[in-house]
Amino acid sequence: MGITRKAAMVMAIAGAFAASAAGAQTVDYTTTGIFSASGTSTASFGTGANTVFLNFLNGGGTVGQPFPGNGSFGSIQATGGGTGLAGLTGNLTINFFQTLPTGGTGSLAGSLSGNLTFNGSNAYFTPTTTSTNIGYVTYSLPNHPFAIVSPTTCPVGPGSCGITSLQGTITTPEPSSMALLGTGLVGLVPMVRRRRK
């Protein structure tokens, strides 16, 4: 391949980086969740009248500039009754489905532990995988346990009883960084020429 063709190829790659930098600042995604205790988005813990149910409520949305941004990774809703202890065991896997800026999938996982009753909680969802990458987008959960809200606790108001929100961070490369990388690639053209002489 001649020097001119190599230079053209390097410049084309630089242009692609610049184009992706311009379009990289919108992320569109959805999430679903699977409990290992049931293999579905709903799981039960406890027995008889003292059973507590956990249901994963899908998350997602569209996130734009500035980055990093906050995103909804879904919620865990607890329902049920009784006063006995419902011991939580197993794992929850959160699956990500990204459509912008590129299509792809990823997942985060965490363990369930502690005791949850109708009117009290000492239960937690603890992330064991705190980040996943889809293309150049990174989805991250805080590296700390999320206290699971009991069925009778309504932290926001009616309709929010027993809901534990899993909020995370979404990160993409800054446009300036992508443009700088593209400029660096163009700068390689004279070096390639010198080496060939």
Contact call for residues 97 and 119 (beta carbons, < 8 A): no
Which segment of 27-31, 135-139, 149-153 scores lowest on mean pLDDT? 149-153
- For residue 162, the model assigns a pLDDT of 94
Helices and strands: H and E segment counts in the chain: 2, 13
pTM, entire model: 0.78
State the pLDDT at residue 197.
Answer: 57
Could you write out the three-class secondary structure of 50-95?
HCEEEEEECCEEEECCCCCEEEEEEEEEEEECCCCCEECCCEEEEE
Residue 186 in this model has a pLDDT that exceeds 80 = no
Helix (H, G, I), strand (E, B) or coil at 32: strand
Give the pLDDT score at 168. 97
pLDDT at residue 175 in the model: 58
pLDDT (tens digit per residue) in 52-89 = 999 999 999 999 988 899 999 999 999 987 788 889 99
- pLDDT value of residue 187: 52
Task: Give CA–CA dist 56/78, Å, rounded.
Answer: 9
C-alpha dihedral sign at 151, 154, 158, 160:
negative
